[in-house]
Amino acid sequence: MPYGTPPVTRRVEGGKFNRFLATLPPHDFALLAPQLRTIALERGAMLHDVGEEIEHVYFPHSGMVSLVVVMQSGAMVETASIGRAGVIGASAGLGARWAFARSIVQLPGTAGCISASQFHAAANQSQAIRDFIVPYNDVLLAQVQQSVACNALHTVEARLCRWLLQARDCVDGDAIPLTQEFLGQMLGVRRTTVTLAARLLQSAGIIRYRRGLIQILDRAALEAISCECYAVVRYNVDKVFPHSSAKLATSGKIFGPRTTRTPEKDDTPLV
């Protein structure tokens, strides 16, 4: 296998566990567990690229992955962000072969990883897995559509607040390692525009910014300034994955050991 040693029985520390996996009934989770490996999501790692075959499926336990559209000029804009309440490559379970967007790790963390062929095989045996993939793909599409409306209709300040709230949910903390240049790329605006918006939030005592790190000081104020898109996306996710992320946290389920790299590509046929 391309990503490490055989799985072992272990407990998930701190209650941080991917919500897709946590919501599965024990029997259905057991179809995935022997093949799952825990990997490190390293900042900047590209998990999928648009038009490439999906070789692995990722279930983030922490950190954040962005789905981005890259134009011919090299300019990028984020269309969706995925953390513990999501999956990268979920459509492979239904037989999809190709990635429709570039997936880049923006905030480091860990994830469960399984080959696309193994995930598809498990989904073929599990109605529960299939029943989660379909609504999750709907939620992901809804987030992409919400991002289109948000980018077209809302101010940079509101969009920045929305993005910071989403990032905070992914890292489970108020300290977010982000640069203004990166935020500009994700929001599709110039760095100077992000700088002005961040200064306004800092002067209002809502955030504190120093190079490479944003500290959220007042989440309530951030939510008040954010556009409605944050609440809409979170509501849609919670409908599919109720707050059950701690369900497997102390159950001693089988789950693979952490490795320090993302899987290498191989020639295994994909579904």
pLDDT band at 60 (very low <50, low <70, confident <90, very high): very high
Cα gap 16→171, rounded to integer Å: 10
Position 180 scores a pLDDT of 74
pLDDT per position as a tens digit, 160-210: 999 999 999 888 889 988 877 778 877 878 888 888 898 999 999 999 988
Position 7 scores a pLDDT of 42
* pLDDT for residue 263 is more than 70: no
* pLDDT for residue 250 is more than 80: no
pLDDT band at 19 (very low <50, low <70, confident <90, very high): very high
Phi, psi of 61 (to 5 degrees): -95, -30
Averaging pLDDT over each range in 4-8, 52-56, 172-176, which range is the top one?
A: 52-56
Q: Which residue is associated with the tokens 């923006």?
A: 106
Of 109-118, 167-176, 227-236, give the lowest mean pLDDT range: 167-176
Cα gap 42→113, rounded to integer Å: 14
Laid out side by side, the sheet with 64-70 consists of 46-48, 102-107, 64-70, 76-82
* pLDDT for residue 14 is more than 80: no
Q: How far is CA 155 from CA 24, 43, 161, in A?
A: 39, 28, 10
Cα gap 43→104, rounded to integer Å: 8
Would you list the DSSP string of 65-93?
EEEEEE-TTS-EEEEEEESTT--BSGGGG
pLDDT, mean of residues 202-224: 92
Q: 36 with 7: CB under 8 angstroms?
A: yes
More confident residue, 212 or 230: 230
* pLDDT for residue 212 is more than 90: no
Position 127 scores a pLDDT of 96
Q: Which helix (H) or strand (E) holds 62?
A: none
Position 243 scores a pLDDT of 61
Q: Is 6 helix (H, G, I), strand (E, B) or coil?
A: coil
More confident residue, 30 or 184: 30
Per the DSSP assignment, residues forming a β-bridge with 111 are 39, 60
pLDDT, mean of residues 73-97: 92
Angle between helices 191-203 and 156-171 (to 10 degrees): 80
Q: How far is CA 105 from CA 4, 182, 209, in A?
A: 20, 12, 21
Total count of residues recorded for the chain: 271
pLDDT, mean of residues 212-233: 93
What token pair was written down for 244? 């059950």
Cα gap 208→217, rounded to integer Å: 7
What is the residue type of 262? T
pTM for this prediction: 0.82
